Structure 1
């Protein structure tokens, strides 16, 4: 039968009560390491509708990411204009739903706080906007964020051109000692959506120690395109225009109304911050471990691999002079649903590529987006909320070569009382045996599974991912990562 809102609420209360003793003692240990990340956004909003799309999504996660600046910038696609007013318009819509969001998770800042973070860079393209007398409210604000006394790194996510960041670094270079500058640069984490002006290459050359994630060169060779690329052989429904209309745009209140139609590609800028979401999957300090925003490795890419003749909007493609965090390759085998017998099983079909590192999570991140958009209009009892995966052991295990061991998440639960679906899998590329997939020896969809460690002649590291998905609507997935050190 269908539960009424009141009876569902009662069910939720009973479920939470049944876990009360456990929750007090065990849940904090499972999520205690999760801490909001600091972030400043540089956006060429209005160059393409995708920046507005990305900002709408971001505002649903501003209780999990500490936004410290929203800077309107130029890019190769918008050289002479910045549009902070478009940010304010979307934040106004957020202000109308903020109190409803707060019913579902705490910590959503006021619209006024977010309005105060909106700044603008110079309406000048690229390196023409870098140098003496090129400071702007945006670059000044960014310097304040960099200099802020906070032990956490500062993520600068660049959705358009990077020249506001270049100017901030230029000014710091002019005003700080070498040691002071090195300390400030060490706090920065930069993720840019390709190079949308000529300042990105300058930054990487001038500041060779700067933590920098980018797929330089033609957009056709970029990991970020995995968020919206059509993949043959899989269900692409969650990136379709009808899905966006039904789940985001229509009937989802004033914030959903601010999500524009796709023009060139859905949300090309969103991957810059997806790995900062507190979903249990990624560790942003380790881009090679992978997550919703893709997986990246540290090396000097070859010019020929950067699609140098592909579309860049006219930004020159230069050889890289130092190692950057850039495209990595995953081989992904999906889990397939079965009508009878084992409810989930590993597909015998695999997909390999750098875009795969991102699109492999796409349905899960899209459903999460849809669920949070529901939060803008629905009361708690009528919406879905994330399950809580809980390990019955430490997140790091040490075993011997060829030893059997167990991975156990039997105490996982759902705050809405929904049934849970489990899936355990090895993520070989995140460990030290990237070419060896270590299978779970029992059914992968049980809450407690068995694994046999591989035979090794030197210490190796394995990564296993637990996916816990509830059966609410839209279904929401949360994760735990278990790192297994295997000794000879």
Structure 2
């Protein structure tokens, strides 16, 4: 059995972090969640009254924070979810993983916290496979955990062993750099640690600008209400435009999302900075951090195996200035000065991922397995990775199965984004054939995607990714 990715989540209280957290918990059957930790960023910190530092865009004292909101909603529907997949973790298990990390100030690493200690323990734990440390806000709590490890082991006879353990197994995935701790501490002191910047436009506040015309349906108030907002306790907590909610205590000049169909000039007159185009009440708002864990979902795209593969979590390319860093393909990160196109290659998957979310929300309110739709699987019957010769035709054997007995439509094609060569694909009764061009160069690769979409409601898709390397 292939290992399940272990995931650490550090997150600040941005409204899209709540939405991403709700989605993450709906996929917690696919992912080994090891920590859920509150952290700071340059956009949100709790402040330090004892030292005269006021909070910045932080929820009011005593208000339930977003991880707890999401876990509480999950607890309400757990009995239904577990009937659709027994791997869903019990709410009590998730609650044990919720800790407060370094939240006082942007880039705060001044002291170890319950959250940073949990991150440290996960990074050091005796467990197989990779650990993905996700920064939905700043990297400061992750940095503090690494500092604690360095403080404990640096200068001892175990330091080389511990350094190798951490750098060999740990991948930091982040939506850009939301503080300076990666640049100032992590990279200078852990130069071999892998960092993947997975920022994409398509999952954020500007999704309306980049998804296809066909897929804009999945952002509309009508679709969001029918498939998300009105679907049980988890859907009810999901933030949409004009929902009357807010992020922080007091006035927040950048948070006008809860207001119902406001006018730009009225907002500006009230002191708001209108940085994001206004959408109709009930419309998609943002889920910016969903790309950090979408790559771990076991849908067959193998997105987490290598950053260049691509999938629901986007695709990354090597950074020209850092041998251990990857960046979303052409993405502008947090800067919006460039053209708003989907530079993370995510928009092509947007509809499938949204329909999959809709199906899982329906699981949350549907006690009988037979009364909901479940994604088909592509069962691969030949090697996923193989060496081929230029001009060769190879068999790609697979079969699509659907757990609900739905009809399944098969499509097989070359993923041009991940490939450096091409192939002619033909579907057959037992799979497909791929014919590599006679002039394909040695070392070039062809990624063949098999896509199986069922006839259920909503239509769901499973995949397989074959990687052919020309020898």
TM-score (norm 1): 0.76
Question: 5 Å matches for 1:94-173?
Answer: 94-127=74-107, 129-131=108-110, 134-173=111-150
Question: 5 Å matches for 1:88-487?
Answer: 88-127=68-107, 129-131=108-110, 134-177=111-154, 178-179=159-160, 180-202=162-184, 203-214=186-197, 225=204, 228-231=207-210, 234-235=213-214, 236-250=216-230, 252-262=231-241, 263=257, 265-300=285-320, 323-328=324-329, 355-378=343-366, 379-409=368-398, 411-431=399-419, 433=420, 436-440=421-425, 442=426, 448-455=431-438, 456-487=440-471
Cα 1:451–1:255 change in 2 (3 A) is: same
TM-superposed CA distance for 1:485, in Å, is 2.9
TM-superposed CA distance for 1:300, in Å, is 2.5
User: Separation in 2 of the partners of 1:77 and 1:285?
Assistant: 31
User: Separation in 1 of the partners of 2:330 and 2:70?
Assistant: 36
Q: Could you say what secondary structure the match of 1:412 adopts? A: strand
Contact 1:329–1:357 (Cα < 8 Å) also in 2: no
Which has the larger helix fraction?
Answer: 1
User: Separation in 1 of the partners of 2:77 and 2:17?
Assistant: 20
* Superimposed CA distance per residue, residues 248-297 of structure 1 (whole angstroms, 9 cap, x where no aligned partner): 110x1111111121446410011000010111112413101111101111
Cα 1:206–1:229 change in 2 (3 A) is: farther
Cα 1:365–1:65 change in 2 (3 A) is: same
TM-superposed CA distance for 1:232, in Å, is 6.9
User: Separation in 2 of the partners of 1:65 and 1:100?
Assistant: 19
Contact 1:224–1:355 (Cα < 8 Å) also in 2: no
TM-superposed CA distance for 1:161, in Å, is 1.4
Q: Could you say what secondary structure the match of 1:98 adopts? A: helix
TM-score (norm 2): 0.78
Cα 1:421–1:447 change in 2 (3 A) is: farther
* Higher mean C-alpha deviation, range 62-71 or range 256-265: 256-265
Instruction: Give the gaps of 5 or more residues in structure 2.
Output: 47-54, 242-256, 258-275, 277-284, 332-339
Contact 1:51–1:159 (Cα < 8 Å) also in 2: yes
Contact 1:227–1:358 (Cα < 8 Å) also in 2: no
TM-superposed CA distance for 1:459, in Å, is 4.3
* Higher mean C-alpha deviation, range 270-279 or range 393-402: 393-402
TM-superposed CA distance for 1:404, in Å, is 2.5
Q: Could you say what secondary structure the match of 2:377 adopts? A: coil
Equivalences, count: 399
TM-superposed CA distance for 1:222, in Å, is 6.1
Contact 2:102–2:109 (Cα < 8 Å) also in 1: no
* Higher mean C-alpha deviation, range 366-375 or range 263-272: 263-272
Cα 1:457–1:467 change in 2 (3 A) is: closer
User: Separation in 2 of the partners of 1:258 and 1:122?
Assistant: 25
Aligned to 1:15: none
Cα 1:229–1:323 change in 2 (3 A) is: farther
Instruction: Give the gaps of 5 or more residues in structure 1.
Output: 1-31, 302-320, 331-351
